[in-house]
Structure 1
Amino acid sequence: MDAPARPWPPPLGTYAEERELFRLLQNMLKELLIHKPNDPIEFMIDHLKQHNDDGSKWHFCEFFLSRSRSVKKKAPRVCVLGPPASGKTTVARWLCKHLGAIRISRETLLSKGISALVKEAKAYKERNQEIPNELWANLIQKRLSNVDCIKQGWILEGFPENQEQAWMLQSSGIIPRHVVVLYASDTVLIERNSGKRLDPITEEVYHTTFDWPTDPLVQQRLVKPEDLSEQDMSKKLLEYHRNFPEVFQIYQKVLKLINADQPSMDVLSQVLTCVRARHRSAAPFTPRVLFCGPPGSGKSLQAALIAQKYSLVNICCGQLLKEAVAGKTKLGELVKPYLDSGSPVPDNLVLKILTERLSALDCMTSGWVLSGFPRDRGQGEQLQNSQIIPNRVFFFHLPHESIMERLSQRRVDPITGERYHSIFRPAPTPEIQARLRQNPRDEEENIKQRVETYDRNAKDLEDFYEDAFYVNADQDPHVVFEFIESCLIKPIPFKKVKGLE
């Protein structure tokens, strides 16, 4: 939530956030640190000029190509990790099938290749010696530099297993976007290991208890893989638990833990959701928060709470118009007849007043929270065309019965201006109770009309703000506030730039 030391004018801040300039600079710096060129300037110029034809610079080129107009989506770069028998192979195969990516594992690296590196690795294996980490890293780097991995993306299964392997991958420029780590109790994993069966034709993995094939022909040809004994399995699990914390520290910003001790489809669904999710940027930004919702959903209360805690400028569109009239400004004089007659204020006048207020120094420096505008897609588009682009949008959802209960029971003390509610905040004395009045806007018929107007436009407005958060407003205000706050304090999510998709 930290704003820049010097406020950016709204168009500049929006441009920087939408084009992910902070992330662009981060990636440029990362490539320099990985490759350590003698002439950094020439290195960057050379890479920026290149296209995807040069496989040796695959990682850097892929990033810049992904920002071009021709690239529709980023190729997946995923590591699937976990202890033995946690289901890494099943998950990796399933991801490749659904994402069109290339599966990379120790087995595939050694079975499909005749290079000197592969021959060297096989020689170690034939001598029953452990293949060095550096050799594995070189094998992976060479395979991932191929065109199919660059264009389709890759799923790296079971690697890295320790800190040294992770550092070697990073020093080779192999940096996954997502790291999925499967976990289950040791008892479950040992039981799984003993029941595994392999189809030698399809290489599909089955289990005698949890996943037995229905086809009798497949059942007949299943073989027991050369897996670990229970004693060896226990040693492997112990080694995994010793090494995992270090791997976690390296990948903690992109790592997702998923419980593998549940139905396979639930595991696969969670994994797919994880790898399709866009990471959030660590870029500093000035909060520009928009609250949308039906009348009575609590927008004003939440805006006041958020503004107070985070020192944002709280702007209610209706109140802003009244202040313009009270201040007798030129725009206020134009707005006054509409407010006096109860007619809607034209959008062009509202936008002029909003733009003027949101461009003020306090809004540019501290950020703002806006409610009451826009109320339909057309107004949202006008707001965007005026370079007023929120980086957090919340839609409050509330059942009609709750709206009616909240608004129809509201009353105002004409002497003090204090608001009361016959159920949630009754007047403290019979004397005050006797003089309370109802605002005509809170009569049931008027409430229904206002809600119907909101409902007519809500769907289109939600479609326009596709990255919005949705708030269940039919609960305690403190619970609502905590949810909103949790979405605000996270770094801003990456946004797709229209015209660059």
Structure 2
Amino acid sequence: MDALKRPLFVPPEFSVYAEEKGVFHLYQSILSQLVIHKPKDPLTFIAQYLAKPTQDPPRLVVYGPPTSGQYTISKLAAQKLNVVHVNPQRLLVDEDTVTKEARDLQVAGKSIPPELWAQIIATRLEADDCTSKGWVLEGFPRTREQALALKAAGVLAKHFIHLSAPNNVLHERYSGKRVDSLSGDVYHLLFHPPDSSDVASRLIEEPNGKQAMMEGLDHYHRYSSPLLDCYSTVSKTFNADQPLDDLFEEVTSYLSSEPRSAAPHTPRILLLGPTGAGKTLQALHLARTYNIVSVDARELIRRTINSGSNDAVKMKPFYERGMMIPDDMVISLLSQRLSRLDATSRGWVLHGYPLTRDQADLLTKVAQAPNRVFFLNLPEDSVRERLSMRRLDPVTGDRYHLLFKPPQSQEIKDRLVIHPRDSESKVTARLSLYNSYIEDLVDCYPLAQHINADQDPLTVFECIESVLIRPATKQTSPKH
């Protein structure tokens, strides 16, 4: 970038690469690991950290009252994500000094201190299998103190799954709960029966299970609220009173979602839709609300042609004959505009381009792929009705709509005329062109959001805005 040249241009590859590769997130995770582990040799530690197959494996906690399905959901999640299933109680069978101290406390009828629990669990989660593949921690922590001790030990969950169900449902579930006397696996005679008769013959009721159930339920209601506050930014509550397949589908959807990130985000929004769908109006709303640059491809071409520049000389013959301007000329013009400092620093919303799959591919080729795409869908009947109410001020060149954007004075209203582009024949031609390419564009942007544009413009904007405030999925570029 030349600081002496105006307007300033910033290569778009900078922000696109950082966003696609998660550079900010990687930098953030490295800093967090340095703060947690405090290595004596930070550079060697960073090199070893970056050499791992993945720097951010799944880390989730499954928590809920007794018989809410903690074990089953943890086991299914571990299989689905191919991570390590960690049950704190099973860790106590190890013969090291720390777990022996914990067992001795249990035998003496004393509770294990949160710091000791955190030490035991942190040691297990720092093993190679957990650090490389990730982990799911079942039923722990159960108090705020245990949660804080885990965080102090460097155990940070990416997702906290809270299973919730009414007390009467939990009691009903307990009546069918059984445990495999050999493996310790948990089953339910109705909801999760064993697959083999051998396992069924080994099933027993938990010793003192009913008393433990009552105590566990009381403990849950007493400590769950302050515990959930510790994980408020990464937790989600699920209704456990539903079929297991439905519950796990909801959990899987949550685990596959992108968490909110503090990474700098430059909006690159693309609005697509038929003529009259309101792309220009929605782009104006977005530009005003989020202080981003609105780029109307058609208006940009008209201004360029009227400027008398070298680009104008090349484009003018095509424009005057009513022909399509070659894609390489248009993409060069758009790339220059979208690379200006205002667009690269604040973000942009583009409309009026692309019209075809080839044009969409060209946008990606010049590193101007959008990270949010919206199709504003509108039936043809509504398109013709809307365009019949559009008007043009021949004096100022301003465009109005008798319903959505009426003129501010009678004087302006009296001189309004129908824009030549809104004639019946030209509207039909534009609709025909859009319909011939719409399927290719939908296929090109599989993660695009489809908005019903046949409603009040402010309602349409609210629909767009509700998507913009959610984290974007990682696959934002078109398919090839």
TM-score band (shorter)? 0.7 to 0.9
- Tell me whether 1:146 sits opposite 2:127 in the alignment: yes
Deviation track 1:19-40 (CA, whole Å, cap 9, x = no partner) reads: 3232222222212221234x5x
Deviation track 1:375-412 (CA, whole Å, cap 9, x = no partner) reads: 3343233223323243x322315264455555564553
Distance 1:141 1:442, change over 3 A: farther
- Tell me which amino acid in the other structure corresponds to 1:46: T
- Tell me which amino acid in the other structure corresponds to 1:66: T
Distance 1:251 1:375, change over 3 A: farther
- Tell me whether 1:77 sits opposite 2:65 in the alignment: no
Shift of 1:426: 10
How far, CA to CA, are the matches of 2:128 and 2:476 in structure 1?
A: 26
How far, CA to CA, are the matches of 2:15 and 2:34 in structure 1?
A: 26
SS state of the match for residue 66, structure 1?
Answer: coil
Check conservation: 1:404, 1:447, Cα contact below 8 A: no
- Partner of 1:171 in structure 2? 152
- Tell me which amino acid in the other structure corresponds to 1:395: F
SS state of the match for residue 367, structure 2?
Answer: coil
SS state of the match for residue 207, structure 2?
Answer: coil
- Partner of 2:312 in structure 1? 332
Check conservation: 2:62, 2:160, Cα contact below 8 A: yes
How far, CA to CA, are the matches of 2:394 and 2:139 in structure 1?
A: 72
Check conservation: 1:75, 1:152, Cα contact below 8 A: yes
SS state of the match for residue 92, structure 2?
Answer: helix
- Partner of 2:109 in structure 1? 128
- Partner of 2:5 in structure 1? none
- Partner of 1:317 in structure 2? 297
Structure 1 gap segments, 5+ residues each: 1-5, 51-59, 68-73
How far, CA to CA, are the matches of 2:102 and 2:450 in structure 1?
A: 52
Check conservation: 1:396, 1:470, Cα contact below 8 A: yes
What pairs with 1:194-273 in structure 2 (closer than 5 Å)? 194-200=175-181, 203-207=184-188, 210=191, 221-226=202-207, 228-229=209-210, 233-273=213-253
- Tell me which amino acid in the other structure corresponds to 2:54: S
> What's the RMSD between the two structures over aligned residues?
3.6
Greater shift in the superposed pair: 406-415 or 254-263: 406-415
Pick one of 331, 351, 355 that aligns with 1:375.
355
- Tell me which amino acid in the other structure corresponds to 1:229: K
Distance 1:224 1:296, change over 3 A: farther
- Tell me whether 1:92 sits opposite 2:68 in the alignment: no
Shift of 1:182: 0.9
Distance 1:243 1:495, change over 3 A: farther
Aligned residues: 465
Percent of aligned positions that are identical: 34
Shift of 1:94: 1.2
- Tell me whether 1:303 sits opposite 2:283 in the alignment: yes
Distance 1:252 1:7, change over 3 A: farther
Distance 1:110 1:473, change over 3 A: farther
What pairs with 1:331-370 in structure 2 (closer than 5 Å)? 331-370=311-350
Check conservation: 1:18, 1:497, Cα contact below 8 A: no
Distance 1:442 1:153, change over 3 A: farther
SS state of the match for residue 169, structure 1?
Answer: helix
Deviation track 1:24-82 (CA, whole Å, cap 9, x = no partner) reads: 22222212221234x5xx32x111332xxxxxxxxx467x5426xxxxxx642211111
Pick one of 431, 450, 463 that aligns with 2:433.
450
- Partner of 1:47 in structure 2? 45
Q: TM-score, normalised by structure 2?
A: 0.83
Pick one of 81, 84, 92 that aligns with 1:110.
92
- Tell me which amino acid in the other structure corresponds to 2:119: N
- Partner of 2:23 in structure 1? 21
- Tell me whether 1:396 sits opposite 2:396 in the alignment: no
Distance 1:8 1:446, change over 3 A: closer
How far, CA to CA, are the matches of 2:179 and 2:464 in structure 1?
A: 48
- Partner of 2:3 in structure 1? none
SS state of the match for residue 204, structure 2?
Answer: coil
Distance 1:359 1:496, change over 3 A: closer
Check conservation: 1:283, 1:492, Cα contact below 8 A: no
How far, CA to CA, are the matches of 2:335 and 2:145 in structure 1?
A: 54
Shift of 1:495: 6.1
